[in-house]
Amino acid sequence: MMNKEENIRRIEAFLDGEMPESESLLFLKELEQNPDLQAEMDLHKTIREAMVDRETDDLRKTLTAIRMKHSSSKNRSRTWYVAASIVGLLMVLGSVFVTLHYSRTKFSDHELFEAYFQQVDAGTLTRNANGFEVSDIQEALNFYDQKNYQKAINLLQGLPETLTNNALKDYFTGLSYMGLMKYNEAIPYFQAVAQNKETLYYEDAIWQSGLCYLKLSDRVSAIHEFKKLQNGSTYYKTKSQEIISKID
């Protein structure tokens, strides 16, 4: 069983994009099965997001809230574990925070990806789009929601091509490849979806494509994708302007 220091090292390597792909896949599976490790990951991500998006005072308030939340827990050992993790993390990242505080636009591609990527709930999205479950593809989407991405891809690719299904198939195939961290393979599927401005997934496909380029450290292509959203809905216009300002 790995100790706290080793878990912190692995979490930092994963969040910094320095963990090999094969090790990352095993790490993601371990997160699903280890609530303590997932809680530690959530804590690190919360602190990182605070460092990126807030000034010094806001960060201090966020950390205080985290500390108070865990201090009220009945599980004292867990409280001390979290407190020690916060202290250790701040010691490791102290110099990074100073840099971010005085030069707030210098964010790594991986940090921006982690800050802006949100997992899509397939069940919710398809119900909202159609008013009912899409029985022919529901099994594939269930595998996607279960994070069994390769199985989802296999089933999606085996479905017949129809005007109704094509955009949804390509969109969730792209998301599944993102789940497998195969960003180069995800991009063509999002680009195929973005060929049709009438599809429900049009803007989000462009957004996800931009995030894939960002994860691949191709900032020029990422900005090109995000700029396509400048004349879109208020939601994506705001998000694209915000992320472009942090990339430039």
pLDDT in tens, 193-231: 999 888 888 999 999 999 999 999 999 999 999 999 998
Q: Among residues of the chain, what percentage have pLDDT more than 70? A: 66
Asked if 88 and 121 sit in the same domain, the reply is no
Quick one: tokens of 243? 């992320």
Asked if 140 and 179 sit in the same domain, the reply is yes
Asked if 140 and 97 sit in the same domain, the reply is no
The CATH number of the domain holding residue 128 is 1.25.40.10
Asked if 235 and 128 sit in the same domain, the reply is yes
Asked if 13 and 87 sit in the same domain, the reply is yes
Residue 111 covered by a domain = no
Q: Looking at 47, 69, 102, which one is the last position of a domain?
A: 102
Residue 108 covered by a domain = no
pLDDT higher at 47 or 140: 140
Residue 150 covered by a domain = yes
Q: Looking at 78, 102, 126, which one is the last position of a domain?
A: 102
pLDDT higher at 209 or 232: 209
Residue 96 covered by a domain = yes
Q: Number of C-alpha atoms within 13 angstroms, CB side, residue 202?
A: 11
- pLDDT band (50, 70, 90) for residue 93: low
Q: What is the C-alpha to C-alpha distance for residues 51 and 57, in angstroms, rounded to an integer?
A: 10
Asked if 90 and 15 sit in the same domain, the reply is yes
Q: What is the pLDDT of residue 110?
A: 73
Q: What is the C-alpha to C-alpha distance for residues 152 and 184, in angstroms, rounded to an integer?
A: 18
Residue 208 covered by a domain = yes
**How big is the CA angle at 193 (ends 188 and 197), to the nearest 5 degrees?**
140
- How many beta carbons lie within 10 A of that of residue 152, not counting itself? 27
pLDDT at 16 over 80: no
Q: What is the C-alpha to C-alpha distance for residues 208 and 214, in angstroms, rounded to an integer?
A: 10
Q: Looking at 46, 71, 102, which one is the last position of a domain?
A: 102
- Strand runs labelled E in the chain: none
28-32, 95-99, 183-187, 207-211, range with the lowest pLDDT: 95-99
pLDDT higher at 76 or 1: 1
- In the predicted model, what is the mean pLDDT of residues 54-83? 51
Q: What is the C-alpha to C-alpha distance for residues 234 and 138, in angstroms, rounded to an integer?
A: 31
- pLDDT band (50, 70, 90) for residue 5: confident
Nearest to 167 by CA among 218, 133, 143, 203: 203
For residue 25, the one-letter residue type is L
Alpha-carbon distance values, 218 to 122, 186, 212 (Å): 28, 14, 9
- pLDDT band (50, 70, 90) for residue 129: very low
- pLDDT band (50, 70, 90) for residue 65: low
Burial (CB < 10 A; 0-12, 13-18, 19+), residue 104, is middle
pLDDT at 55 over 80: no
- In the predicted model, what is the mean pLDDT of residues 95-101? 46
pLDDT higher at 103 or 4: 4
pLDDT at 100 over 50: no
| Residue in the structure block whose two tokens are 């593809």 | 137
Asked if 120 and 236 sit in the same domain, the reply is yes
Nearest to 220 by CA among 182, 186, 248, 192: 248
- In the predicted model, what is the mean pLDDT of residues 6-15? 82
Residue 107 covered by a domain = no
Counting every residue written for the chain, the total comes to 248
Asked if 161 and 45 sit in the same domain, the reply is no
Domain count for the chain, please give it.
2
Asked if 127 and 243 sit in the same domain, the reply is yes
Q: Which domain holds residue 46?
A: 4-102
Nearest to 212 by CA among 200, 224, 202, 201: 224
Q: What is the C-alpha to C-alpha distance for residues 225 and 213, in angstroms, rounded to an integer?
A: 9
